[in-house]
Amino acid sequence: MKLTGAQIFWECLVRQGVKHVFGIPGGATLPIYDALPEFPIHHVLARQEQGAAHMANGYARVTGGVGVAIATSGPGATNLVTGIATAMMDSVPIVCFTGQVSSPLLGTDAFQEVDVTGITLPITKHNYLVTRPEDIAPAIREAFYLANSGRPGPVLVDITKDAQQKTCEFDWEGSEPHVAGYLPNYQPAESVYEQAVSMINAAKRPIILAGQGITLSGASKEVIELAEKAHVPMAMTLLGIGSIPASHPLNLGMMGMHGEAWVNKAIQESDLLLAFGMRFDDRVTGTVSTYAPNAKKIHIDIDPSEINKIVHVDISIISDLRPAVAKLNRGVQKSDHQEWIDFIEEMRAESKSRDILNIPDNDQLFVAHVIHDIWKYTEGNVVVVSDVGQHQMWEAQYYKHEHFRSLITSGGLGTMGFSTPTAIGAKIAQPEKEIWTIVGDGSFQMTLNELATIAQEKVKIVIAIMDNGYLGMVRQWQEMFYDKKYSATPLSSPDFVKLAEAYGLHGIHVNKRSEIQKAVEEARKAPGTVILDFHVVGEDSVYPMVPAGKPLDDMIQRPKNGN
C-alpha cells in the first residue's frame, strides 16, 4: 500500500488507538493537515501550542493513555517546550509531533527553522528527526512505546515537510519497535525482598511515602493491603494525592513544604520510610542532611536513576511498584502500631487547632473556605485540575480526594497557566466526568486564550478563579522573607464574568461564603462552561510552610489566633 508520509502519519495514529489530537497547523505541517479529513481522528484547535501540549497532558493523566499534540516548525515547536517540560517532570506520557522545513533546507536558517530536537533533548525521554517517509511509521510506533513504558514521559517526533509529501510503501508490521535494552528485566534478588520484609516487620514507627508511582502502576490495592496488614500510616506527595482515598484511616495527608505539620513531624520521628514511587523532591524533604535522621529507608521505583539520587537509602528495589509491593505483602507480618498512630494523632490535634476552617469568615472570603465548600457541595465527585501557587496548596489540603486520578496538577515544573488547557484535554478524554479547575487570577491570565477552544469545542468545565489581586505565592514569600516589599506582585485583572460572556460562556461573581453553595449548584447545572470568580482575601498565606534551607519539621505555622 503506497501512501504519502502525511497519510502514513495519520494511519499510524489510528492504529495506535488515537481518537483526539491537539494542535495548531502551520506551513511545515500543511501536508499532514491536508490528509487529516481522510481519517477518523478529531483535531482540537488550541489557541497556542503550549495549550495543546497541556491538553495532551490532561488527556493522558485522566485516562492513563498517551496524549498527542501537533505543532508547526519554528515558533510553533518552541511554544510546545514548556508543555513538554511539564510532562517530563511529572512522568506524563505524551507524544508531540512537529513539522520541520524540507530536508534540503536543514541547517540553513530557513524561514521558521529551529533545531527542536536539540532544544528538547533534555526534556524528552527521546526524540526523532524524520527526513524520509519510510521512517515515519517506525518513529511513531517507537515513540508511543517509549512514552508509556517504564517511567512514562514525553517523546517528540520532528518530521520534515518533504517527508510528509513523498510517497512510499506503508509497512505497519515491519515498523514494530525493537528497542534493545530499554526495558531490562529488573529482577531484584530474593534476598533484597527478604531484607525489606524483615525491616518492615521490625519497625516501630514506619511511614509509607505514597508517590505518583502508585497511580502510574495501578498499585493502590497492594499499597493499602500492606498499610493495613502492617498497620503503617501513609503520607502523600502532591502527585500521590488521589492514589489512596483521603478518608482511609491510615492516610495522614500531604507531606512537604506546605504539607500538614503532623505529617512532616511524623516523618522526622519515624524509624522506617517506605518510599513508594516517589523521588524525594526538594519540596518533600526540606534540608536533605536533616531529613528523617533516625529512619531506615526502603525505596521502590521503576527508574534506577532516582535511587540514591537525593536521599541515600538502605534498600532499593528497582521494579514496577505493583508487583514489588505484592511480593512484600506475602512476607509482611500483621502488626499493631497503635502507639505510633496515637502519637501522630496527638500532633494532628495540635495542628488542627490552627486550621483556618476554625476561623470565622466575618464577611471575608478565604480560599481555604472556598475549596472546602466546593469539596462539600460537589461531594468530592469531580476531577480537579489545579494550577500552580497558593491555591494549589490549599486545594491539596482542603479538597478530599477519594477517587483514583481525581487530582491533576503540575508538580515538578510548577507551570502557571497549566489548568485551563489541561482541563480541556481531560474533559475531551472523558466527557462523562465532571471537571473543575482551581486557578489563581495570575495563572488563569496566562492561558485564558483557551476559552476560545472551550467555546469552539463546546466542552463543559467549571473554572473556579481564586481572585486575590496578587501573584499570591510570590507575594507570600515577599511578606515572610522580604519585609513585605511587594515588588511586581500586585495584579490587575479584567472582569472575569464579562470575559466569560465575551466567549459565549457563563460567569458568576462570588463575594461572600454564603454565596458559594448557590454558585456551585448553578455552575454544575449549567449546560456549558462556567467561570466562578471568587473575590478572596488578598493577603492570606498558606500554612504550614517549611522555609527554604530548613529541616522538614522547622515549619512556620498559622498562629492559633488565626492572624
Q: Assess whether 2 carries a catalytic annotation.
A: no
Contacts of 15 (CB under 8 A, 6+ apart): 172
Which of 384, 372, 385, 380 shows the shortest CA–CA distance to 402? 380
Among the options 55, 473, 545, 555, which is catalytic? 473
Residue 400 grid coordinates:
478530599
Residue 308 grid coordinates:
540514591
Q: Are 486 and 475 in contact (CB under 8 A)?
A: yes
Instruction: Say what the alpha-carbon torsion angle 226, 229, 232, 236 is, to the nearest 10 degrees.
Output: 40
* Residue 423, helix vs strand vs coil: helix
Task: Provide φ and ψ at 451, rounded to 5°.
Answer: -60, -30
Among the options 16, 39, 112, 364, which is catalytic? 112
Among the options 161, 166, 297, 327, which is catalytic? 161
What's the CA gap between 386 and 395, in Å, rounded? Answer: 7
Q: Assess whether 111 carries a catalytic annotation.
A: yes
Among the options 2, 111, 204, 309, which is catalytic? 111
What's the CA gap between 502 and 518, in Å, rounded? Answer: 23
Which of 211, 219, 472 shows the shortest CA–CA distance to 321? 219
Structure letter (DSSP) for residue 369: H
Among the options 11, 49, 260, 306, which is catalytic? 49
Q: Counting every residue, how long is the chain?
A: 563
Q: 448: buried, middle or exposed (CB in 10 Å: 19+, 13-18, 0-12)?
A: buried
Q: Assess whether 473 carries a catalytic annotation.
A: yes
Pairing of strands 167-169, 2-4: antiparallel
Q: 451: buried, middle or exposed (CB in 10 Å: 19+, 13-18, 0-12)?
A: buried
Task: Provide φ and ψ at 463, rounded to 5°.
Answer: -105, 110
Q: Assess whether 49 carries a catalytic annotation.
A: yes
Q: In what order do the strands lie in the sheet with 506-510?
A: 407-409, 383-386, 435-440, 462-467, 530-535, 506-510
Residue 119 grid coordinates:
532544544
Give CA separation, 431 vs 59, 403, 448, 520, in Å. 11, 17, 21, 19
What's the CA gap between 315 and 108, in Å, rounded? Answer: 52
The gap between the terminal CA atoms of the chain, to the nearest Å, is: 72
Active site residues: 49, 111-112, 161, 473
